[in-house]
């Protein structure tokens, strides 16, 4: 159960079981996810939690390497109209596999 954005920093692997993937759930009416401003449930470190908005291109490139999300589901609870599943601002050697939102 998540109540805020899960930030993945460089060299992070978020892996579930390929047979029975776990589900990460954004709780209903989570603060900051109501909209109209968009907010990601999972975000890479590039652009997130910095002085600029998470979608801006002012980030440190070293925060964007070796990231993986494999075999997980993401569920957005009710009353989270501004929720975006994944903000994937990455560089090299990254992968998304078997992810359902």
The set of residues, in sequence order, having a beta carbon less than 8 Å from that of 19 and lying 6+ positions away, is none
Question: 87-99 burial string, b = 16+ CB within 10 Å, else e?
Answer: bbbbbeebeeeeb
pLDDT tens digits, one per residue of 64-85:
788 999 999 999 999 999 999 9
The set of residues, in sequence order, having a beta carbon less than 8 Å from that of 20 and lying 6+ positions away, is none
Which pTM was predicted?
Answer: 0.83
pLDDT surpassing 80 at residue 98: yes
pLDDT tens digits, one per residue of 43-67:
887 655 555 555 555 556 666 788 9
Give residue 55's pLDDT: 54
| CA neighbor of 63 nearest in space, from 16, 7, 6, 4 | 7
């Amino acid at each position: 159960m998540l109540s805020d954005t899960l930030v993945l920093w460089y060299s992070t692997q978020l892996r579930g079981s390929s047979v029975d993937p776990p589900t990460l759930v954004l709780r209903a009416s989570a603060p900051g996810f109501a909209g109209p401003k968009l907010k990601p449930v999972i975000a890479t470190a590039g652009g997130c939690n910095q002085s600029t908005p998470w979608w801006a291109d002012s980030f440190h490139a070293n925060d964007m390497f070796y990231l993986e999300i494999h075999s997980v589901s993401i569920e957005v609870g009710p009353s989270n109209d501004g929720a975006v599943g994944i903000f994937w601002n990455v560089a090299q050697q990254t992968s998304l596999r078997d992810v359902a939102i």
